[in-house]
Amino acid sequence: MVQLHVKRGDESQVLFSATVHMPLDALVAQVTAIYNGRLKVDRICSEMAELVDHGIMLPPNMQGLTDDQISELKLRDEWEGKCVPSGGATFQRDEMGRRNGHAPNEKMKDVLKKTMQEAKALISKKQVQANVCVTLEMVKEALDQLRGAVMIVYPMGLPPHDPIRMEFEDKEDLSGTQVCARFYYISICLIAVAFHRLVCSRFPYDTGVSAGHSSRGGSDMVGRQRDAAGKETAGLCRQKREDKDRGQAAEARPGGASEGAARQRGAAEADDAALPPKARGTEETGRGGRPRLPELRVV
């Protein structure tokens, strides 16, 4: 199994568990559905908080108008008498002018508030800290809890223009909002994660994902190999610098160049002695039968 840690920036969002053989299309579809479902729960809870305080949504042609303007235009909310909360309503004016102000009583408010807390906890970001993987069934359960609570308080249902009902019926209009950008973002992130998993499975040293844990183990091994290669390269460069410095110091001393040449000839002769007779060559030919170059001596 593979555990995917979905983030938005540096902020953890959700954990998702999948198999290494899961198709990429199915992976993107499931995690995107979970992520978007969590956003839907957040939007519904946000509107339900307004429903608790100020009742149902006014018709679009009455929103933002004062009482005098509504009277002057002879507008009437036909849903005010149809959508009455169970147990009666208490009036609490909405200063934003979006809702009619007929809020549920305290008992029904408690039902809505408690359900909102339970639904949020089910798909909360704190599930990442608890190492709990959120599933699509958990998101659906949260939506069902919210839908049931609204039906308890409003058995007749909400007006068709109310954002809560539109969310439940998947008729919400999210064009021009940041939510659309988030949909695109999570799809791109999932493709990148799946591509990383696919690439890692091609290399034997990166077994973190294919072993069913995470890609951290493979990434650490790659980092260790890179560090070892860097240290080896640095050692070779340092050795070359030291050899160069010793050669320059030998040339700076009187007769130093001759001593350096003698040491090089001695090293070459030792190398020749270690070779087989056929590969060693003769006085006229060097290794492999190639003619020897004339020896240069510094006087």
pLDDT digit string (tens) for 255-294?
A: 545 555 566 666 656 655 655 555 555 655 655 555 555 5
Secondary element (H or E) of residue 13: strand 11-18
Biggest alpha carbon–alpha carbon distance for the chain: 120
Rounded to whole angstroms, the Cα distance separating 171 from 180 reads 15
Model-wide pTM > 0.85: no
Structure-block tokens of residue 202: 């091609």
List all residues 6 or more positions away from 116 whose beta carbon is below 8 Å from its beta carbon: 45, 48, 49, 146, 149
What is the per-residue pLDDT across 161-180, written as a single tens digit (0 to 9) for each?
A: 999 999 999 998 777 666 55
What is the per-residue pLDDT across 36-90, written as a single tens digit (0 to 9) for each?
A: 999 999 999 999 999 999 999 999 999 999 889 998 999 999 998 899 999 999 9
Which of 157, 166, 139 has its CA nearest to residue 47? 166
Q: What is the mean pLDDT of residues 222-233?
A: 57
Spell out a b/e string for 6-34, using b for 16 or more CB atoms within 10 Å of the CB, else e.
Answer: beeeeeebbbbebeeeeeeeebbebbbeb
Rounded to whole angstroms, the Cα distance separating 34 from 31 reads 5
Between CA 59 and CA 68, with CA 64 as vertex, the angle to 5 degrees is 95
Q: Would you state the pLDDT for residue 62?
A: 93
DSSP per-residue codes, 146-184: HHHHHHHH-TT---TT-HHHHHHTT----TTSHHHHHHH
What is the per-residue pLDDT across 237-249, written as a single tens digit (0 to 9) for each?
A: 676 677 666 666 5
Give me the sign of the Cα torsion angle 176, 182, 183, 184.
positive
Phi, then psi, of 132 in degrees rounded to 5 = -105, 125
Q: What residue type is assigned to position 123 of the chain?
A: I
- Number of Cβ within 10 Å of residue 119's Cβ equals 24
Above 50 in pLDDT, residue 122? yes
Phi, then psi, of 289 in degrees rounded to 5 = 85, 5
Rounded to whole angstroms, the Cα distance separating 157 from 27 reads 36
Q: What residue type is assigned to position 251 of the chain?
A: E
Q: What is the mean pLDDT of residues 105-118?
A: 96
